Structure 1
Amino acid sequence: MSDLELAAALGAWVMFVTLVLTRLTYKPLSRLGHMRAVYFNRKIIHMLAGGVVAVLVPAFSSWVVPTLSALAIAVFLYVPHRAGRLFWWFQDPGNMYEVSFAVMWGLVVALSWGVLGDWRLGVVPALFMAVGDSATGIVRNLLFKRRTKHWVGNVAMAAVSVPIGWYYLGLPGALAGLLASAVERFEFPPVDDNVLVPLSSFLFLAVTGIFYPL
């Protein structure tokens, strides 16, 4: 399968999760309230779209197609905000964090594979953002019934991110998972954890790789 064929298949999957699946999950989730349903749907998209595709990045022959695909998705998510016609079942009029998610996903893949020559240095931060951050969001939403920051979410994120980091990169990956889990606690709007989590963990791994074989 060529890179373009793989991108088309994964793009169809992302569109299904974004436009079909989460629209279906919105109805039962809406019993919890509109914004909680939106937030849960975002986490579903993070895991099933961003996470699944991140795991399959090594199936591509280079970083170019997955990065361009991520940027195309970022534009696709940005346009409804500009047009005032949101995908209401997962987009929040108060922020565009799902756009920064797609941009950062593409950026860390490009920098890791295209510049440093090791796709793991981008896939691992992308998984921290897609899967680890979803764990913290789901736990906090269940406990506090709203989007908020609390240490219990960071513990949940570490419980997911540390094993992911260890699987791909051993001890440095596990430490990057701890760092990402701590950094998630902070955001400086419009810069959110979808920027800080992958950026901090990528930089940590890139610098660590200079002194320690990954």
Structure 2
Amino acid sequence: MPTPDEFIYVIALFVWVLFVSHYLCKRIYNALLRRGYEQNVAVYYNRKIIHILAGGLVSILVPFLFKSFTLIAILVTVLAIGNYLPHRSGRIWYWYQVKENMYEVHFIIMWGLIMGLGFLLGNLAIGVLPILFMSVGDGVTGLVRNMLYHRRTKSWWGNIAMALFCIPAGFLTFGVSGAVAGFAASLVEKLEFRWIDDNITVPLISFIILLALPMSGVPVFV
């Protein structure tokens, strides 16, 4: 049963996510257009900013604020539906959504799924770390590529930047297993599949590795 404090926390996090996605990013979008950036470049910057400031920051706070997954599940559901409906209606939030895909919806669903598994297993770190790979790691990747190429691309420079975050973060959290998971996440981000984007593959692959390697005898810490 959620505590009264958790109700306050989930409302605060919801307001924060709305602030980032609907106020901050809209201002950033308009500022970038005024500086001569193309619309798609501004959108791509915003998607990665949301990755980091909404997905990443919130995931770090969850273990400190919540004992139950119930309110988090409700928050994830509201955000997923809220980001799906503009696509359904054809009136997307143009400053961070694109008509070609609904990858931000995938991001929210996977965020909730992996975090929920962390609660289920009684180990929130194993939920938070793959989410950080997906949010902060992939966010850094996108920012680096956007700065270098001013378009969406799968340049290796982005993967190197991602690895520089994911491997140390993984090692500090889960030792060798975490470092391997961070390395794998940085590699799999490079791959593209028709219906499965990196918001699915990055957290899923890294989560599986974090479960499997310790069972295989790989030390969690060295």
TM score, norm. by length of structure 1: 0.95
| 2: CA distance, partners of 1:171 / 1:106 | 26
Choose the corresponding residue for 1:102, options 108, 112, 130: 108
Is the Cα contact below 8 Å between 1:22 and 1:90 reproduced in 2?
A: yes
Is the Cα contact below 8 Å between 1:108 and 1:198 reproduced in 2?
A: yes
Residue 65 in structure 1 maps to residue 71 in structure 2: yes
Which residue is 1:166 aligned to?
Answer: 171
Is the Cα contact below 8 Å between 1:126 and 1:198 reproduced in 2?
A: yes
Choose the corresponding residue for 1:21, options 21, 24, 29: 24
Residue 194 in structure 1 maps to residue 194 in structure 2: no
| 2: CA distance, partners of 1:162 / 1:14 | 27
| 2: CA distance, partners of 1:71 / 1:2 | 20
Q: CA deviation at 1:197?
A: 0.3
Q: Would you identify which runs of 4 or more consecutive aligned residues in structure 1 move more than 3 Å?
A: 211-214
Q: CA deviation at 1:64?
A: 2.7
Which residue is 2:119 aligned to?
Answer: 113
Task: Give the unaligned 5+ runs of structure 2.
Answer: none
Deviations 1:116-174 (A, max 9, x none): 22111110000000000011111111112110111111101001111221222222112
TM score, norm. by length of structure 2: 0.92
Which residue is 2:14 aligned to?
Answer: 11
Which residue is 2:88 aligned to?
Answer: 82
| 1: CA distance, partners of 2:68 / 2:178 | 22
Choose the corresponding residue for 2:42, options 26, 37, 42: 37
| 2: CA distance, partners of 1:62 / 1:206 | 22
Change (3 A) 1:165 1:41: same
Which residue is 1:147 aligned to?
Answer: 152
Deviations 1:15-55 (A, max 9, x none): 10011000000012222100000000011111000011010
Q: CA deviation at 1:111?
A: 1.4
| 1: CA distance, partners of 2:101 / 2:197 | 10
Is the Cα contact below 8 Å between 1:51 and 1:130 reproduced in 2?
A: yes
> Larger radius of gyration, structure 1 or 2?
2
Q: CA deviation at 1:74?
A: 0.9
Is the Cα contact below 8 Å between 1:125 and 1:199 reproduced in 2?
A: yes
Moved more, 202-211 or 88-97: 202-211
RMSD over equivalenced CA pairs, Å: 1.3
Quick one: which amino acid aligns to residue 193 of structure 2? F
Which residue is 1:122 aligned to?
Answer: 127
